[in-house]
Structure 1
């Protein structure tokens, strides 16, 4: 069965391609379930695990720590609440990914999967990317939201994802050396992108 990891900056169609690839390969798509498993192991609310997922920016934690507070799931501040250890979330996420790979397999979006599972021979590591302006245009088209609003969200999201990988794994997440396949998801129809990833996965013997 094996595992497919997909790395995708904002606007590169990761949330669209991931589930489609999983369906074609007959594998489960792991996304929202991962924070839930991490939360259960750490004994914290799911919302807190989601807040500490890959999009956490180190600077946020430094700010929160300096205030002696912890943001709650809706963005307010809870005085005196304990500060979660970002490394604990990272460690538990790595354990969950390893268990997925060793078990029924699946398709995982984000969470530095290519770095965590780099030594597995039953994995395909994929990077979806594209020029910033085309990723922005695609995100605006898919969401229907104002361009300025999407651009601001994209900038913050990209910075956070890169910071996560650079901080914990000391690598550039965009470097092609980490992946078996790199696709410009803004230059091809999404069906074609899915076809490429599925073909590569089949070529490595992955899927049902």
Structure 2
């Protein structure tokens, strides 16, 4: 019984590795499902949650964060409709990921799981890193992209990752001290990496059960 969080530099293969580990352990794999869960809890659309995840600090976001905006939304949509800004997003995300972790036997991709579950006794935190050319190559190979397209996506999603963690007021997300293990995917293939994490988590579960 464990919870695995996987953080990654974009293009290092976090989603692919997470799916492989979840299959080997027969765990639930949680990735974009979190967007739907946050939207339902905040009573807003998934589009609104996705926009919060992608951007921060813009003029529209600052406007929507005011009390005036909140009151405006309630007048237009009714009091039973929800509202979300960066502050609400972080709070609801904390609640959702904490609730997911209570189920155990889950692999959670990104979204600050290493911070939210830092004190969870059964959580196992993994960070994937890789050289930028290797991350670009991974995106080319696994998503049928041109080199130019892959390079653009790696850069853009790296920016979004930094934005997301700024919402947590965190900038140390690549600090190895936050994790049980850091895997350099420039030096490991997916099968070896997934086997390594599988064995470590299996050993951890056995230790906790003793």
- The number of residues matched between the two structures is 191
Q: CA RMSD in A?
A: 2.3
Q: Distance in 2 between matches of 1:83 and 1:120?
A: 29
Q: Is the 8 A contact 2:140 2:146 kept in 1?
A: yes
Q: Secondary structure at the match of 2:126?
A: strand
Unaligned runs of 5+ residues in structure 2 are: 65-75
Q: Deviations over 1:129-174 (max 9, x none)?
A: 1111111111112222121122112111112212322441423111
Q: Secondary structure at the match of 1:164?
A: helix
Q: Which of 60, 85, 93 in structure 2 is aligned with 1:64?
A: 60
Q: TM-score, normalised by structure 2?
A: 0.82
Does 2:42 match 1:42? yes
Q: Is the 8 A contact 2:61 2:85 kept in 1?
A: no
Unaligned runs of 5+ residues in structure 1 are: 69-79
Q: Distance in 2 between matches of 1:93 and 1:110?
A: 11
Q: Secondary structure at the match of 2:107?
A: strand
Q: Is the 8 A contact 2:10 2:157 kept in 1?
A: yes
1:50-199 correspondence runs (5 A): 50-53=50-53, 56-59=54-57, 62-65=58-61, 84-199=84-199
Q: Is the 8 A contact 1:183 1:193 kept in 2?
A: yes
Q: Secondary structure at the match of 2:9?
A: coil
Q: Is the 8 A contact 2:7 2:126 kept in 1?
A: yes
Q: Secondary structure at the match of 1:205?
A: helix
- Following superposition, the deviation at residue 52 of structure 1 comes to 2.5
Q: Is the 8 A contact 1:162 1:172 kept in 2?
A: no
What residue number does 2:69 align with? none
- Following superposition, the deviation at residue 66 of structure 1 comes to 7.0
- Following superposition, the deviation at residue 67 of structure 1 comes to 8.3
> Do the aligned partners of residues 65 and 108 (structure 1) sit closer, same or farther apart at CA in structure 2, a change above 3 Å counting?
closer
Q: Distance in 2 between matches of 1:2 and 1:51?
A: 31
Q: TM-score, normalised by structure 1?
A: 0.83
- Following superposition, the deviation at residue 96 of structure 1 comes to 1.0
Q: Distance in 1 between matches of 2:153 and 2:35?
A: 21
